[in-house]
Amino acid sequence: MPNPDLSPTAYLATLADKQLLLVKGPDASKFLQGQVTCDVKELTAPVTRIGAQCNPKGRILLSFRALQMDSETIALRIPASMLESAQKTLGKYIVFSKAKLHQGTDAFALFGLFGESAAAVASTFFTQLPTEQDGWVEHRGSYLIQLAADRFECWIALAERDHFLDAVTKQTQSMDAQAWQLLDIASGIADVYPESYELFTPQELNYQLINGINFRKGCYTGQEIVARLHYRGKLKRHMYRFEYTADKIPAPGTAVVNSLSGQQAGAVVMAARNQSGKIELLASLLDEQLDQASVADATEKLSPRNLPYAIPTADDAPIQ
């Protein structure tokens, strides 16, 4: 697998492990506002938001990136493996709204574009570029979302798929979805998968640090627990990035233990193998266990790696 750090070129990954779930109807925004952690009203600007749907105990049922395509359509980009679950957990409540759920498989193909010249490559298909991180632009029914200066999600309308690939393929090298997963891990942006369903609270995945929770938006399922953790409790568990050597990539939900006592300290959120052959992962664990953490049954202790945002200490004031 080519190393994207060694060349100023651009890379294109087919994101077959991700899918769009469309919430469509006059009540699409109102419905989601009462179900998820992010403020759906913010989507009326050309921005996307990370968010989660929680159960009444504040545990995540579904993680997503949301984009409002028009006044009656909000797209949720989710792990493809969570589609059936998402339709059940959202569908249980949407029956009371003037909105319906639609799979986006028959309408969009998803790609990840990254590298030093990614913006220049994107501009060969899209007539303009987003102006800020998490912003987006639309061109002929396709969407370009800026995750960083050199990293974009491309939600391409199927009718434009061939045109898009004709425009970008000759200027990019093909990469697999694992390379994109590594970039998510380096960004400290995590998803929930079937193995970690109802395992984490939003704060345990650092959603409060990436605009994934709005504490002023009002009620949603699980909001009371999420708010109580924020305002009344001192958070003692956060998500961290690590690296270690192992033969097998750990699945989401795999236990993380104290390497000395063997006592469970947390769980793996997501993991992938990097270009050097080591495993990089995000793990949510007790802050006090950070220096002694290891994946269950692994012989090597986890080595912490940097995230692009700071993890607050227990004494820091809560984010308003």
Residue pLDDT, tens place only, 177-196: 999 999 999 999 999 999 99
Q: How does DSSP classify residue 9?
A: S
Q: Give the integer Cα–Cα distance in Å for 238 and 313.
A: 10
State whether residue 168 is helix, strand or coil: helix
- The residue written with tokens 């989401």 in the block is 252
- Selection from 41, 65, 47, 188 nearest residue 131 by Cα: 47
Helix residue ranges per DSSP H, 169-320: 177-187, 223-231
Q: Give the integer Cα–Cα distance in Å for 10 and 119.
A: 9
Predicted pLDDT at 276? 94
Predicted pLDDT at 319? 53
Predicted pLDDT at 49? 98
Alpha carbon of 291 to those of 260, 285, 301, 302: distances in Å? Answer: 11, 11, 9, 8
All residue ranges of the chain with pLDDT < 50 are 1-7, 317
Predicted pLDDT at 305? 97
Predicted pLDDT at 2? 43
Predicted pLDDT at 234? 75
CB neighbours (10 Å) of residue 291?
Answer: 10
Radius of gyration, CA atoms only, the chain: 19
